């Protein structure tokens, strides 16, 4: 979903020339015309690539560096209403322009299409796009903030009506079809190509004005909720030497980032599914982050009790998420880059391949102990010894002594 909140002329700390009488010259375009120009270019996919990114300075009060595309909303159509004049603090003037649009769905950075969903309680008619409404706030100014990686700069441009916010890209079906095709052809990732082929087939149907059924034919043997819980249970108890058992849950050979393993107490796992894709959220109490040198960081001064939410106001507040897709395909990628594709039963599979593992306290103790015993690196042995002492205090349910608590920086405040 895309929402814009009404933000008045003082937004982003800009010094805005907004009153009609204060304007040194008249702008060439009206507020409504600016919005019309913006949406025309936006839906054509003008800013999906960095070539025309600087053009946004003519439409927005603030721009940032181009960071790639996604998520992207796919629209059937949109309608721009008349501009409404608002007079605010110290007689500053802005205009509100209502935009109604009809959204088929969105495309994420993995080129996976997800159908748009109505707010809870509203009736959804299958095959129809979801109607949304937003309001563009425009101010008359010749100044804009240009954000880059080294800082913010205020620059001067042509005096014109500029919009205060920019949401994720919203493009037409034709623009989406062209963009996904280009991204598929550039990628060497089999999962990206697989997602792109499915999305292209959906977009071709959308170009005729119909949303196709998105659920794959057949029914998986296990529900997405059961698969998510099984995956978390197995992952959290697996050290690197045993990760071959976890691979079966992935659509593609996983790449766990063991330089940022998260030691957690798992409180619960929830899943929100939509057709052939789903998002899982894992609620945890964090016990710290473990790197490859066995150094523990961002750890709490005491482990939270596990007897329920009454133990702490922030019980389970450390959230982690992952995505799943419904697929009969599985890819194994060898170290030399060779890809082997295999078919199997329709099943829910974890989509993202690169991530930071979640491991339980007992798993962390086994892992650190093994690394300490097998390494000849004195720094790793020293770090492991300290980490094991901290983890043992957690296991015993005792607060850390001063020698360790002085370095504690995580946990519930």
Q: What is the pLDDT of residues 169-202, one digit of tens each?
A: 899 999 999 999 999 999 988 888 888 998 999 9
Q: Which of 157-166, 197-206, 310-319 has the highest mean pLDDT?
A: 197-206
CA distance 408 to 4: 39
CA distance 182 to 73: 17
Q: Indicate whether 399 belongs to any domain.
A: yes
Q: Do 142 and 233 share a structural domain?
A: no
Q: Do 374 and 252 share a structural domain?
A: yes
Q: Do 335 and 264 share a structural domain?
A: yes
| 386: its two tokens | 């300290």
Q: What is the reported pLDDT for 9?
A: 33
Segments forming the whole domain that contains residue 110: 11-175
* Nearest 10 degrees: Cα torsion 218, 222, 226, 232: -100
For 63, counting Cβ atoms within 10 Å of its Cβ (0-12 exposed, 13-18 middle, 19+ buried), the class is buried
Contact 249, 243 (CB under 8 A): no
Residue 409 has pLDDT above 90, yes or no: no
Give one DSSP letter per residue of 315-334, joined into a string: TT-EEEEEEEEEEEEEEEE-
Q: Do 154 and 251 share a structural domain?
A: no
Q: Do 282 and 139 share a structural domain?
A: no
Q: Indicate whether 348 belongs to any domain.
A: yes
First to last CA, the chain: 32
For 297, counting Cβ atoms within 10 Å of its Cβ (0-12 exposed, 13-18 middle, 19+ buried), the class is middle
Q: Do 252 and 106 share a structural domain?
A: no
Q: Which of 26-30, 176-180, 255-259, 370-374 has the lowest average pLDDT?
A: 26-30
Higher pLDDT, 110 or 2: 110
Q: Indicate whether 349 belongs to any domain.
A: yes
The residues pairing with 157 across neighbouring beta strands, listed in sequence order, are none
Please give the backbone phi and psi of residue 123, each rounded to the nearest 5 degrees, phi first: -75, 135
CA distance 8 to 86: 9
Q: What is the reported pLDDT for 149?
A: 63
317-361 confidence digits (pLDDT tens): 899 999 998 888 888 877 776 778 788 888 999 988 788 999 999
Q: Indicate whether 413 belongs to any domain.
A: no
Q: What is the reported pLDDT for 395?
A: 94
Q: Which of 101-110, 139-148, 153-162, 402-411 has the lowest average pLDDT?
A: 402-411
Q: How many helices (H) and strands (E) does the chain have?
A: 7, 15
286-311 confidence digits (pLDDT tens): 999 999 999 999 999 999 887 655 55
CA distance 93 to 175: 35
Q: Do 242 and 388 share a structural domain?
A: yes
Q: Do 169 and 29 share a structural domain?
A: yes
Q: Do 163 and 27 share a structural domain?
A: yes
Number of other residues whose CB lies within 10 A of the CB of residue 186: 8
Higher pLDDT, 316 or 215: 316
| 346: its two tokens | 């329709």
């Amino acid at each position: 979903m895309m929402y814009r909140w009404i933000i008045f002329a003082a937004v982003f700390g800009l010094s805005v020339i907004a009153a009609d009488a204060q304007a040194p010259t008249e702008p060439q375009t009206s507020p409504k015309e600016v919005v019309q120009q913006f949406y025309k270019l936006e839906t054509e996919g003008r800013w999906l690539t960095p070539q025309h990114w600087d053009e946004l300075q003519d439409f927005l009060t603030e721009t940032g560096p181009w960071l790639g595309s996604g998520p992207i909303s796919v629209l059937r159509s949109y309608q721009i209403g008349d501009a409404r004049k608002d007079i605010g603090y110290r007689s500053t003037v802005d205009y509100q322009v209502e935009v109604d649009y009809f959204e088929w769905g969105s495309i994420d950075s993995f080129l996976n299409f997800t159908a748009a969903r109505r707010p809870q309680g509203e009736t959804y008619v299958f095959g129809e796009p979801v109607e949304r409404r937003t309001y563009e706030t425009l101010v008359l100014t010749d100044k804009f903030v240009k954000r880059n990686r080294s800082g913010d700069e205020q620059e001067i441009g042509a005096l014109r009506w500029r919009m205060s916010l920019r949401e994720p890209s919203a493009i037409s079906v034709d623009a989406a079809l062209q963009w996904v095709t280009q991204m598929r052809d550039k990628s060497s990732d089999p999962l990206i190509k697989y997602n792109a082929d499915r999305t292209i087939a959906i977009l071709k149907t959308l170009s005729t004005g119909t949303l196709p059924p998105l659920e794959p034919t057949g029914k998986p043997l296990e529900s997405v909720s059961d698969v998510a819980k099984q995956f978390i249970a197995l992952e959290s108890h697996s050290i690197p030497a045993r990760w071959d058992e976890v691979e079966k849950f992935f659509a593609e050979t996983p790449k766990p980032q063991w330089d940022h393993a998260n030691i957690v107490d798992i409180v619960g796992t929830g899943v929100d599914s939509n057709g052939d894709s789903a998002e899982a959220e894992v609620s945890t109490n964090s016990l710290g982050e473990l790197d490859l040198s066995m150094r523990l960081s961002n750890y709490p001064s005491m482990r939270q009790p596990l007897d329920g939410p009454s133990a702490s106001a922030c019980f389970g507040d450390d959230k982690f998420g992952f995505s799943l897709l419904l697929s009969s395909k599985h890819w194994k990628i060898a170290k030399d880059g060779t890809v082997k594709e295999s078919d199997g039963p329709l099943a829910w599979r974890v989509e993202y391949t690169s991530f930071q593992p979640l491991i339980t306290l007992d798993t962390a103790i086994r892992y650190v102990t093994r690394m300490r015993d097998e390494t000849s690196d004195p720094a790793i042995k020293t770090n492991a010894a300290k980490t094991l002492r901290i983890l043992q205090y957690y296991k015993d349910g005792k607060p850390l002594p001063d020698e360790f608590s002085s370095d504690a920086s995580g946990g519930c405040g």
